[in-house]
A = this chain, B = another copy of it.
Amino acid sequence: MRERVAAGWDELFSSAARGMRFSAIRRMSALIEKPGIISFAPGQPSPETFPVEEFREIVADVIAREGAAAFQYILTRGLAPLLSAVREYAAAKGMPSQPSEVLMTEGSQQGLDLVARVLIDAGDVVLVERPSYIGATSAFRAAQARMVGVRLGPEGLDLDHLRERHRAETSAGRRVKFLYVVPSFQNPSGISHSLPARRALLDVARELDLLVVEDNPYGDLFFEAQPLPSLRSLAGDARVVYLSSFSKVLAPGLRTAFILGPDELLAKVEIAKQSANLCGSGLDQRILLGCLRGGLIEDQKARIRPYYRAKRDVMLDALAREMPSGVAWTRPQGGLFVWLTLPEGTDAESLLEAAVAEGVAYVTGAPFFVDGGGENTMRLTFAREDAPTIAEGVRRLGRVVRADVTSDRASSR
Chain A interface residues (CB < 8 Å from chain B): 2-7, 9, 11-17, 20-23, 26, 44, 47-48, 50, 52, 55-56, 59-60, 63, 67-74, 105-107, 109-110, 113, 117-121, 124, 135, 138-139, 141-143, 175, 177-178, 206, 209-211, 235-239, 247, 250-255, 262, 264-265, 268, 271-272, 274-284, 287
Contacts and interface: CB of A to CB of B under 8 A. Distances in A.
Given A177-B12, A238-B2, A271-B21, A68 B56 contact: no
Contacts of A175: 11
Contacts of A121: 14-16
Contacts of A254: 71, 281-283
24 contacts: A2-B237, A9-B262, A12-B211, A15-B121, A16-B272, A17-B118, A48-B68, A50-B68, A72-B252, A72-B253, A73-B247, A106-B106, A107-B278, A107-B279, A113-B277, A139-B275, A141-B275, A142-B275, A253-B283, A255-B277, A255-B279, A255-B281, A281-B283, A283-B284
A64 B105 CA distance: 28
Contact of A278 (B74, B109, B209, B210): B109
A5 B175 CA distance: 14
The 7 closest A-B pairs by CB, nearest first: A253-B282, A71-B251, A47-B68, A3-B237, A17-B118, A71-B253, A109-B278
Number of copies: 2
B238 A117 contact: no
Contacts of A7: 209
B71 A50 contact: yes
A143 B17 CA distance: 12
Contacts of A264: 9
Nearest to A134: B275
Contacts of A13: 118-119, 268
B275 A255 contact: no
A117 B271 contact: no
Residue of A117, A143, A281 with most chain B CB atoms under a 10 A cut-off: A281
A3 B276 CA distance: 30
